[in-house]
């Protein structure tokens, strides 16, 4: 039992250190993206790729009141959901380009790139964020450990300050759901996670 309690305590302690002022700034960036029809592109590797996919689903579908209505919707994309494109770029241009290359095709200035990485140092994620910044996009990082390179280069960073991949990934999914719930409140939607 001790191992479970220890895990939960460390997760709670790390979540208590999340900067809620930064979280609110990120919410404002996403709210602006929704109302100005800016693309939100979410990237991550491994477990963070599944968090990116989950977040894309949540933003794209779970922020709609009326599926047949004409309300504004998030324009959201998760490049790792397209395995054919991902593997084609990995094979032909190198794994470090798998996120940068799709961004070159779709990203405009003032679009949003959310980069999720426990270490903050994944070369393909860092390279994509560097390209996004060069293009004039707004960059958001969800990081763990020390924050790595992403903590230095992203415009907005939510840092879970612990050197543990599992708890960092847990925290990033919790942050996703915190953002979603705040968006529900702004749109006056019923919370139905």
Each residue's pLDDT, cut to its tens digit, for the chain (193 residues) gives: 899 999 999 999 999 999 999 999 999 999 999 999 999 999 999 999 999 999 999 999 988 888 888 888 999 999 999 999 999 999 999 999 999 999 999 999 999 999 999 999 999 999 999 999 999 999 999 999 999 999 999 999 999 999 999 999 999 999 999 999 999 888 875 444 4
**With a threshold of 0.75, does the pTM exceed it?**
yes
The rounded distance, in Å, linking the Cα atoms of 7 and 181 is: 25
Whose CA is closest to 151, among 115, 107, 112?
A: 115
Residues 107, 39: contact at Cβ < 8 Å?
yes
């Amino acid at each position: 039992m001790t191992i479970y309690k220890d895990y939960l305590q460390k997760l709670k302690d790390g979540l208590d250190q999340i900067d809620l002022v930064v979280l609110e700034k990120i919410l404002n960036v996403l709210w602006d993206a929704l109302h100005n029809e800016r693309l939100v592109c979410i990237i991550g590797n491994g477990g963070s790729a599944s968090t990116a996919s989950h977040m894309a689903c949540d933003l794209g579908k779970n922020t709609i009141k009326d599926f047949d209505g004409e309300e504004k919707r998030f324009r959201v994309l998760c490049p790792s959901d397209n395995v054919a494109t991902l593997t084609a770029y990995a094979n032909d241009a190198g794994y470090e380009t798998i996120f940068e290359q799709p961004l070159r095709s779709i990203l405009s200035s003032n679009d949003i790139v959310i980069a999720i990485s426990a270490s903050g140092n994944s070369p393909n994620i860092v390279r994509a964020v560097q390209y996004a910044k060069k293009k004039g996009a707004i960059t958001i990082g969800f990081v763990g450990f020390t924050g790595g390179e992403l903590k230095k280069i992203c415009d907005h960073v939510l840092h879970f300050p612990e050197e543990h991949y599992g708890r960092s990934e847990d925290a990033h999914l919790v942050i996703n759901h915190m953002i979603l719930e705040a968006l529900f409140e702004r749109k006056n939607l019923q919370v139905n996670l």
